[in-house]
Amino acid sequence: MAIQKGDNVPTATFMTMGADGPEPMTTDQLFSGKRIALFAVPGAFTPTCSAKHLPGFKEQAQAFKDKGVDSIACTSVNDVFVMNAWGKDQGVDGEMVMLADGNGDFAKSVGLELDAKGFGMGGRSQRYAMVVNDGVVENIFVEQGGEFKVSSADYVLENL
């Protein structure tokens, strides 16, 4: 069953790129005492993810802060090097945290994994966004197959 509004975010560890290379970041480190807008994409550098999803959150970063969001985080079932390169390509340094869920452990733990083998992409994450307040899901927006509507930055902002 997929994670729902009011649920605690499960314990998991992402990888991020630090000054000295890859570093782990736990869900406790990310969410404890903070209000975070987290969005998940099926793949870095993929068309909708690169042209619409991530840019929308980048463009609306200040609007999220104005509504009490401490930070924006992006996760995908990609390795830390790909997520770091994608963040640099998109120019998001300092505007959001790029979280590599390389083995899809977080996607599985929240019940939002995606079988993309038919597209040659293996196990991935569904496209979604959630607002997490001190480790508790305040709201969640999960897309239906192939859509990009409810997880967009604009939609999430309208529903904060």
pTM equals 0.94
Q: Which of 12, 36, 49, 140 is catalytic?
A: 49
Q: Which two tokens stand for residue 130?
A: 């959630």
Q: Is 95 strand, coil or helix?
A: coil
Which of 10-14, 31-35, 112-116 is least confident?
112-116
C-alpha distance across the termini of the chain, in Å: 24
Taking CA 78 as the corner, what is the angle to CA 159 and CA 17, rounded to the nearest 5 degrees?
A: 90
3-state secondary structure of 3: coil
C-alpha–C-alpha distance, residues 141 and 80, integer Å: 25
Asked whether the predicted pLDDT for residue 115 surpasses 70, the reply is no
From CA 95, how far away is CA 118, in angstroms rounded?
A: 33
Per-residue pLDDT reduced to its tens digit, 60-72 = 999 999 999 999 9
Both tokens of 48, joined, read 């909708």
3-state secondary structure of 154: helix
Q: How far apart are CA 128 and CA 84, in angstroms?
A: 20
Report how many helices (DSSP H) and strands (DSSP E) the chain contains, helices first. 7, 9
Binned at pLDDT 50, 70 and 90, residue 140 comes out as: very high
CA-CA distance, 143 to 93, in Å (whole number)? 26
CATH number, domain 13-158: 3.40.30.10
Distance CA 147, CA 4 (A): 20
**What ranges do the domains of the chain cover?**
13-158
74 tagged catalytic: no
